[in-house]
Amino acid sequence: MARGSRLARLAALGLLGVLTLTGCNMPNNEFWRFGWPEGITDRSQDMRELWTGSVIAALIVGILVWGLILYSVVRHRKRGDELPKHTAYNLPLEIAYTILPFIIIAGLFFFTVTVQNKVQDRSENPDETIAVNAFKWNWQFVYPETTGPDGQPVNTVGTSTEIPILVLPTDRTIRFEVASADVIHSFWVPEFLFKLDVIPGNENGRDNVFEVTVQKEGAYVGRCAELCGTYHAYMNFEVRAVSGDDYDAYLQAREDGLSTFDALEQIGQSGKATTTSPLQLFEETATGGQSAGG
């Protein structure tokens, strides 16, 4: 009975360590990210800390389980032909391994919901609003608060030979309204540490909304993270994060009739995507070349 009480106390100490670590501010160096990229938005830090805390909690539970297994193997190894003593009940231990998993799950659930509420929080008046339309197998980005030469909002549409570039300002609250024209897609920018599944239907776009503030300039690949058909793997786009002044200049150039390529070149950015490229077969077909199998 005393041995069971010691094991129960040990398990309780392990649980305390799990809950303590999941609630702490975790360092943001590469080791503690456990494979995640460095986040570039105001909300990515919360998600990264949840990931780090969850991994550490899982490691603590795993080490505890492995330790108990090894202890049992060594402590109760066969020493002769005499049968070992059988214990029918160990109430403290049974209570411990019934209650502790529930408490661990409840703790992780609490931290997950807390972070989820922060990530999905929306402001009353975002600085910018961008409509993202997904379709097989590409993307359209619409800037609804602009007016192009044709009287319609400025937009960028990807093709089989051109990666669409989504230009975003840094240090401004951006609301994304994401919709799908056909099947389920998923808007994913790895450096956002966030992705949103987009489910088509009568209420399409109503709840497919999220906000971020990009804090670092640069070019970042975006992908569809939901298997959506033959060319799902090539349904990529690029996020080009620029300063607020460059963003305003870009939109003005687009309103004046410049293409995405020319408008980006005008503000000193590359007119083509630099983080990903179209499907090679399409590129070669467009330039009159032969595919690798041809």
Average pLDDT, the chain: 83
CA distance 2 to 142: 68
Check whether residue 112 and residue 142 sit in a common domain. Answer: no
Check whether residue 27 and residue 114 sit in a common domain. Answer: yes
Looking at 101, 119, 137, the residue that finishes a domain is: 119
Residue 163 lies in a domain: yes
**CB of 256 closer than 8 Å to CB of 267:** no
CA distance 138 to 228: 11
**CB of 191 closer than 8 Å to CB of 38:** yes
Region 244-262: mean pLDDT is 95
Domain holding 12, by residue range, is: 2-75+90-119
Res 294: pLDDT: 28
Check whether residue 147 and residue 247 sit in a common domain. Answer: yes
Among 157-161, 232-236, 277-281, name the one with the lowest average pLDDT. 277-281
189, containing H or E segment: strand 185-189
Nearest Cα residue to 50 out of 114, 142, 100, 134: 114
Amino acid at 262: D
pLDDT at 6 over 50: yes
**CB of 140 closer than 8 Å to CB of 166:** no
Place of tokens 């097989």: 136
Check whether residue 256 and residue 225 sit in a common domain. Answer: yes
CA distance 123 to 12: 41
CA distance 34 to 45: 14
Q: What are phi and psi of 209, to 5 degrees?
A: -130, 135
Per-residue confidence band for 3, with pLDDT thresholds at 50, 70 and 90: low
Check whether residue 111 and residue 159 sit in a common domain. Answer: no
Distances, alpha carbon 244 to alpha carbons 219, 240, 289, in Å: 15, 12, 41
Place of tokens 């630099």: 274
Q: What is the CATH number of the domain that holds 194?
A: 2.60.40.420
Res 95: pLDDT: 87
pLDDT at 55 over 80: yes
Check whether residue 256 and residue 149 sit in a common domain. Answer: yes
Residue 188 lies in a domain: yes
Res 202: pLDDT: 52
Domain count, the chain: 2
Res 10: pLDDT: 53
Res 282: pLDDT: 52
Q: For 67, how many CA atoms within 13 A lie in the half-sphere containing its CB? A: 10
Region 220-224: mean pLDDT is 94
What three-state secondary structure class fits 237?
strand
CA distance 138 to 3: 62
Residue 289 lies in a domain: no
Nearest Cα residue to 140 out of 175, 166, 176: 166
Q: What are phi and psi of 269, to 5 degrees?
A: -110, 160
Per-residue confidence band for 204, with pLDDT thresholds at 50, 70 and 90: low
Region 125-145: mean pLDDT is 93
Per-residue confidence band for 284, with pLDDT thresholds at 50, 70 and 90: low
Check whether residue 209 and residue 138 sit in a common domain. Answer: yes
CA distance 54 to 224: 25
Among 43-47, 87-91, 127-131, 156-160, name the one with the lowest average pLDDT. 87-91
Residue 67 lies in a domain: yes
pLDDT at 224 over 90: yes
Check whether residue 14 and residue 42 sit in a common domain. Answer: yes
Q: Which residues of 115-139 are buried (b: 16+ CB within 10 A; e: fewer)?
A: beeebeeeeeebebbbbbbbbbbbb
pTM of the complete model? 0.77
Residue 145 lies in a domain: yes
- Tokens describing residue 114: 């807390």
